[in-house]
Every structure is written in structure tokens, then in C-alpha cells.
Amino acid sequence: MGAVERLREICGRFPEVTERPSHGAPTWFVRGKSTFVTLWEHGHHDNEFPHLWCAAPAGVQGELTAEAPERFFRPPYVGHRGWLGVRLDGTVDWAEIAELCEDAYRTVAPATLVKRLDA
């Protein structure tokens, strides 16, 4: 299973999520408007390797990029808002990716939808 299919499976579990291309890349939205994950399967900008960008809770970007700079980075355009870049080349821990996607969803989704995750 490729990265797009895996992310569809992961992100499709969350309430009121849709997927559509944004800037030519598969992107997942809450209620059709708030982006929480974008996949750059063939790289983007100066990052010429497969990766995703995901919303992240406050402080997580700095923590993970310091802890594991070989896997995590500050992405262009959205990095200043705390988003996290995650490399998908090499060995990918899909359980970890699922956790990051859930954190991204929780960061962006309205509280009423987040409560549905916890029910």
C-alpha cells in the first residue's frame, strides 16, 4: 500500500474529513475547509523527498525537529504556524504517522468533532 492509500485510511477515520488536491497534492480537510495534512509524495520546494506536512499542537514542531532532525523538519509556508514536516523516505513508522495525523486533526477540528473522537 502506498503513502496516499495509507493516509486515506488513517485520515478517513476522523469525523467530517474530506480529501481533495491542493496545490497539486492530496490534502485532507476538516469540514471541507480546514487543512490538517498534505502529502508531497514526490517532494516539494527544496525538499526533494516524499513527505507530509501536518498541523501540530504548540511546541511539537520544535520538540520533534530537535529530537529527530533526520525525520522531522519545519516546512515552508506553514512552518511559521507550527506545522510539522515528516519525511516518508526510508523506513516509515505508520503507527507514528497515524498519531501525528490524529494530533493534526485535533489541532484543527472544532471541539464538537474532537469530542466525537473521544466518545
In the chain, what's the furthest Cα-to-Cα distance?
41
Rounded CA separation 38/53 (Å): 5
- Beta pairing partners, 51: 40, 87
Q: What is the pLDDT of residue 43?
A: 83
Q: What are phi and psi of 43, to 5 degrees?
A: 90, 170
State the pTM of this model: 0.95
Rounded CA separation 91/103 (Å): 21
CATH 3.40.50.280 describes domain 3-118: no
Number of helices and strands in the chain (H, E): 4, 6
Mean pLDDT by 10-residue block, N- to C-terminus, for the chain (119 residues)?
A: 95 97 96 96 87 97 97 93 95 97 98 92
- The size of the chain, in residues, is 119
Cα-Cα end-to-end distance for the chain: 29
Q: What are phi and psi of 101, to 5 degrees?
A: -65, -40
Q: What is the pLDDT of residue 93?
A: 96
